[in-house]
Amino acid sequence: MCLGVPAVVVEIDEEKGYAEVDYGDGVLRKAFVGISLDRINRGDLVIVHANVVISKISLEEAEEIMKILKEIALMSDEEQKLSKN
Amino acid sequence: MAEFSKFEILKEVEILLRSRDVANLLVNCIKKLCEKISEDVRIMSFCGTHEWSVTNYGLRSLLPKKIEIIAGPGCPVCVTPSYYIEELIKLSMDGVQIYTYGDVFRLPAVKLVRGAKSLEDAKALGGEVRVVTGLVDAIELAKNCKDSIFVGIGFETVAPGYAHAILKDLIPKNLKILSLLKLTPPAMYFTVEKIDKDEKPLSGIIAPGHVSTIVGAKAWKKVAEDFRIPIVVAGFEPVDILMAIAKILQQIISGEAKVELEYTRAVSYDGDLRAQKLLSSIFEAKEDAWRGIGFIPGSGLRINEGYRRYDAFEYFNIEELRKSEWNYDLNAGCRCSDIVLGRAKPTDCKLFMRVCNPENPYGPCMVSVEGTCSIWARFGAKEFTDDILEELKLR
Amino acid sequence: MKFIKLSHGSGGVEMGDILSKLVFSKVDEKLKKVENGVGIDLPDDGAAIPLKNITNDYIILSTDAYTVNPPFFPGGNIGSLAATGSINDVVMTGGKPIAALDSIVVEEGYPLDQLEIIVDSMIDVFKKEGVALIGGDFKVMPKGNLDKILITTTVLGLAKKPIVDIPKDGDVLVVSDFVGDHGAVIMLLQMGVADKASELKSGRLSSDIKPLTRLLPLIDRFLDEINAARDPTRGGIAGVLNEWAKNSGNLIVVEDVPIRDEVRRYAEMLGIDPMYLASEGAAVFSVSAEVAEEFVEDMRDLGFENAKIIGKVKKSEKYKGFVLKKTEIGGFRLLEPPRGEIVPRIC
């Protein structure tokens, strides 16, 4: 229901609660910060839905997932090796 | 210039979340879990964007036959009553500038209004309609312009954005918001309550990840407890969804029914407290009409007394849809209400791909790109792809 | 004379002046006609091409009207687009482009300096490709009757054998480059950032407009093995593949179509599928499986380093005309033909 897109916060207007974000195409676009402003800092990776910042992506959690998934991916390599042998 | 290293990390995560190896392993794991369950497993992907991922990545073609993924009512466009679109068509032709999302632009009304059946038609006939990506765009465009309406469709995700703009007075005086916002937890409760009495009840729910960033995983607790259904809040990458399915199966096996969080990188248990507060201070929750479903108590948000000057209902004298008038909401023969509730598949509807197709949508489920019928029409049903794979021996 | 007036299109002195300034003075004498023929060296009702000294067997002709809003975009403008587009259509039919006609319709009041840049860009492409501009038309429409500018180009080419697109069972599909760049850029400009031209320049997205004439030696060499060739413009690669599947009655299976990261991200942002976005400098081929690898290698040697195999053509009894896409995670889905306008979605 809600297409969320990752973007990097480049600039924040604290007073108005605007963030300028880059979705990865190098163009800055405005978005409202609908969530707690103190959660958002310059350089943060956030999720934007229809011009509204709805969440911050936790890099720790992302790295945690990466760790788990890499292990899974490795397991699949081993499984393949086993099945080939 | 943005910090591209952040995108690099994200890209790495994305690569893994879309990895064939990881998906294969999870599918194997799901198959093994399935062997421990005797009955068929019906999982509702409540959110339209989940349904989009499921189809876009061809997840159904990977899952065991025993698992059925049913699309839920989680598309704010498809559930917007025809009545409001009809009112907007009239206003656009009376010289009011309408700003709207692309999928609302194409949403068909039931009645023909001054020769138009959608805002797209209205534009072609001289109505003032413009597609925007969000309220920010509308604000920029409406500055120093005439009377304008932003069609405020959406769920809890976009609602805090509208609320924020109202609270901070960022909206030009000539631009009014027509809040047709809907709340998801009441709708999920309503849906599950309805299907619960059916022959084939739900075995689990994939809860909307982005709505949960605002309302928190806690919002689904009541549904899980009252109906004893496992619920997993999931992200939108294919591996996210596969993980959520595995978690639901694990719960079924161990006889649990709780809310679990898979989308940990973006969602917390409590959600965002400021956003929740914003919603309750700017809007009031009302009984609201869901197209093809009916009136659901406390499921709609309207701008409250204190902020009426932003309210399009007030300024343009738009009347609310009355309960007594609601029944005309679907075209004759249209089974969108059953499809939205997960009771029927698009292929069960006699109109599907005969009278109703993506070029000429007849019912709301065919309109939005994430409407179940539209997705099935464009990407094909599971049976269909399965059959092709069988013939070509591609599996 | 800073902007276009209706009189510039009235066939009088003003028109003669503007044509000579905009077009005639800029085309090399040699390229005003096909050798020994008649062209804009002597502007007449039509142009003449002598066939007696031409040994090839087929004349290839292609015409297309170009409208693009906005007329200027990162990577090019409507002028370069008009020249490149029709050249590529001829190349994809197996022809070597030799001559072109253009028809420019411009709105009254349009700034002359901008028009000049557009026409220069068009002439520049023809010049670089050695295509003679042998005739054309120029009209002005009253203000409000046209949105800025419309250019129609007709390009003529010669081929030993035309490529008629009928992919065969067992064929391998090859794409020359990333797809969707042009469509993404135009969409980007239309979705409210048209006023941010300076930012766009620093951005990483630009149109992929380029003539595909460099592919001619490859087409020449593999002529008997190429069963279809097309540049995926409007409707994107999904459009081309669906047309091919439908016309040949075969089933097409694709996977791993090369899409630039920026384009993918931008498309995800709007909720659109890059498989439907236009390219203006990429080509898709359907070639016999035996030569596919060699074909790709040769293509890379010609400078198309992103060339790759993206799928197969298969015979199907029950599912003629469908395109199946193998997804990143190994699932399958149908790739539908393009429908309606591409609009961004909220959900």
- Average pLDDT of chain C? 88
Across the interface, do C262 and A29 touch by the CB < 8 Å criterion? Answer: no
Q: Are C91 and C210 a contacting pair, CB within 8 Å?
A: no
Low-confidence winner among A41-55, B271-285, B350-364, C120-134 (lowest mean pLDDT): B350-364
Q: Does B61 touch chain A (CB under 8 A)?
A: no
Query: Which single residue is written with the structure tokens 């963030």?
Result: A19
**Stretch C268-286: mean pLDDT:** 91
Q: Across the interface, do A2 and C347 touch by the CB < 8 Å criterion?
A: yes
pLDDT at C1: 45
Which subunits have 3 or more CB–CB pairs within 8 Å of chain C? A, B
Would you state the pLDDT for residue B1?
Answer: 43
Alpha-carbon gap, residue B386 to B384, rounded angstroms? 5
Closest to B214 measured CA to CA, from A36, A58, C271, A62: A36
Tell me the chain B residues in contact with residue C332 when contact means C-beta distances shorter than 8 Å: 58, 61, 385, 388-389, 394
* Residues whose CB falls within 8 Å of the CB of residue C323, separated by 6 or more in sequence, listed in order: C238, C241, C242, C245, C251, C252, C253, C254, C334, C335, C336
Q: What is the CATH number of domain B82-183+271-329?
A: 3.40.50.11740
Query: If you average pLDDT over every residue of chain A, what do you get?
Result: 85
Name the residue among A2, A41, A42, A57 with its Cα closest to residue B268. A57
- The end-to-end CA distance of chain C, in Å, is 50
Query: Which residue in B has a C-alpha nearest to residue A51's C-alpha?
Result: B134
Task: Give me the percent of chain C exceeding a pLDDT of 90.
Answer: 59
**How far is Cα C49 from Cα C51, in angstroms, rounded to an integer?**
6
**Record: contact A73-B16, CB cut-off 8 A:** yes
- Chain C interface includes B20 (CB < 8 A): yes
CA distance A46 to chain C (A): 13
The mean of the pLDDT values for chain B is 89
Q: In a 10 Å sphere around its CB, with 0-12 CB exposed, 13-18 middle and 19+ buried, how is residue B38 labelled?
A: exposed
Q: How confident is the model at residue B235 (pLDDT cuts 50, 70, 90)?
A: very high
- CA gap B230, B220 in Å, rounded: 10
* Segment among B149-153, C165-169, C174-178, C341-345 with least mean pLDDT: C341-345
Percent of chain B with pLDDT over 70: 95
Residue-range domain boundaries for chain B: 82-183+271-329, 336-389
Residue with tokens 């698992």: B67
CB-based contact B106 C324, cutoff 8 Å: no
Q: Look at C333 and B77 and tell me if their CB atoms are within 8 Å.
A: no
**Domain covering C6-159 in this structure, CATH number:** 3.30.1330.10
> In the predicted model, what is the mean pLDDT of residues C84-91?
95
* Residue among C125, C140, C109 nearest C77 (CA): C125
pLDDT grade for C340, boundaries at 50, 70 and 90: low
Instruction: Average the pLDDT over C77-89 and give the result.
Output: 96
**With 50 as the cut, is the pLDDT of residue A34 above it?**
yes
Tell me which of C141 and C192 has the higher pLDDT. C141
What is the share, in percent, of chain C residues with pLDDT greater than 70?
93
- How far away is chain B from the Cα of C274, in angstroms, using its nearest Cα? 12
Measured between CB atoms, does C265 come within 8 Å of chain A?
Answer: yes
CA distance C205 to C253: 29
Cβ-Cβ contacts under 8 Å for C18 (sequence gap 6 or more): C8, C138
> What does the DSSP assignment read for B244-260?
HHHHHHHHHHHT---EE
Query: In a mutagenesis test of the A interface, which of C269, C272, C329 is the best target, namely the one with the most A β-carbons within 10 Å?
Result: C269
Q: Say if CB B270 and CB B276 are below 8 A apart.
A: no
* Cα-based distances in Å from B202 to B172, B197, B249, B342, B344: 46, 10, 12, 9, 13
pLDDT at residue B373 tops 90: no
Amino acid B2: pLDDT: 46
pLDDT digits 0-9 by tens, A10-28: 999 988 889 999 887 777 8
Kindly list the structural domains of chain A, giving each domain's residue range(s) and its CATH number in brackets, ordered by start: 5-84 (2.30.30.140)
pLDDT in tens, B247-269: 999 999 999 999 999 999 999 99
Higher pLDDT, C61 or B259: B259
C-alpha closest to that of B43 among B72, B11, B8, B2: B72
pLDDT of amino acid A1: 46
Of B369 and B203, more confident: B203
Tokens encoding B195: 């299907």
Name the band, by pLDDT with cuts 50, 70 and 90, for residue C110: very high
> What per-residue confidence (pLDDT) applies to C53?
59
Q: In terms of CA atoms, which chain A residue is nearest residue B279?
A: A34
- How many CA atoms does the CB half-sphere of B149 hold within 13 Å? 31
pLDDT tens digits for C144-166? 999 999 999 999 999 888 898 99
Lowest mean pLDDT segment, chosen from C12-21, C66-75, C218-227 = C12-21
pLDDT band at B390 (very low <50, low <70, confident <90, very high): confident
According to DSSP, residue B172 is labeled: -
Give the pLDDT band (50/70/90) at residue B212: very high
Three-state SS sequence of chain C: CCECCHHHHCCCHHHHHHHHHHCHHHCCHHHHCCCCCECCCCCCCCCECCCCCCCCCEEEEEEEEECCCCCEECCEEHHHHHHHHHHHHHHCCCCEEEEEEEEEEEECCCEHHHHHHHHHHHHHHHHHCCCEEEEEEEEEECCCCCCCEEEEEEEEEEECCCCCCCCCCCCEEEECCCCCHHHHHHHHHHHHHCCCHHHHHHCCCCCCCCCCHHHHHHHHHCCCCEEEEECCCCCHHHHHHHHHHHHHCCEEEEECCCCCHHHHHHHHHHCCCHHHCCCCCCCEEEECHHHHHHHHHHHHHCCCCCCEEEEEEECCCCCCCCEEEECCCCCEEECCCCCCCCCCCCC
What single DSSP character describes residue B58?
Answer: T
Distance separating the N- and C-terminal Cα atoms of chain A: 46
The pLDDT value recorded for residue C199 is: 52
pLDDT at B160: 95
User: Average pLDDT, stretch C99-116?
Assistant: 95
Contact criterion met (CB below 8 Å) for B87 and B313: no
* Phi, then psi, of B76 in degrees rounded to 5: -65, -20
User: Comparing C-alpha atoms, which of C283, C304, C291, C312 is closest to residue C221?
Assistant: C291
Section B72-91 average pLDDT? 90
Distance between A15 CA and the closest CA of chain B, angstroms: 9
Looking at residues B361-372, what average pLDDT do you find? 75
A2–chain C nearest CA distance, Å: 4
- pLDDT band of residue C187 (cuts 50, 70, 90) is confident
Structure confidence by residue, pLDDT tens digits, B275-319: 999 999 999 999 999 987 889 999 999 999 999 999 999 999 999
Look at residues C87, C91, C116, C90 and name the one whose alpha carbon lies nearest to residue C104. Answer: C116
- The residues near C269 (Cβ < 8 Å, ≥ 6 apart) are A5, A23, A25
Please give the angle made by the CA atoms of A48, A51 and A56, to the nearest 5 degrees. 25
According to the model, what pLDDT value does residue B11 have? 84
- Which of B51-60, B378-387, C191-200 is the most confident on average? B51-60
Q: According to the model, what pLDDT value does residue A75 have?
A: 77
And the tokens for C61? 């002709």
How far does CA B44 lie from the centroid of its chain? Answer: 13
Q: Measured over all CA atoms, what is the biggest interatomic distance in chain C, rounded to whole angstroms?
A: 65
Q: Please write the tens of the pLDDT for every residue from B187-210.
A: 999 989 988 887 778 999 999 999
Residue located via tokens 């009541």: B222
Position of tokens 């050695």?
C130
Those residues whose C-beta lies under 8 Å from the C-beta of residue B217, and which sit 6 or more positions away, are B207, B233, B259, B260, B261, B267, B268, B269, B271
Q: What are phi and psi of B133, to 5 degrees?
A: -90, -10
pLDDT at C196 over 60: no
C329:B62 CB<8 A:
yes
Q: What is the pLDDT of residue B380?
A: 63
Q: What is the pLDDT of residue B263?
A: 95
Edge to edge, the sheet with strand C149-159 lists C58-66, C149-159, C96-107, C132-141
Indicate the CATH number for domain C172-334: 3.90.650.10
**What pLDDT does residue C241 have?**
96
Cβ(B387)–Cβ(C318) below 8 Å? yes
Whether B302 contacts B313, CB under 8 Å: yes
Give the pLDDT confidence score for residue B3 in this predicted structure: 55
Residues of A with CB below 8 A from C203's CB?
25-27
The single residue listed with the structure tokens 């679990």 is B260
Return the structure tokens found at C278. 């236009």
Which of B88-92, B390-394, C72-76 is predicted with the least confidence, judged by mean pLDDT?
B390-394
Residues of chain C with CATH 3.30.1330.10: 6-159
Cite the residue boundaries of each domain of chain C with CATH code 3.90.650.10: 172-334
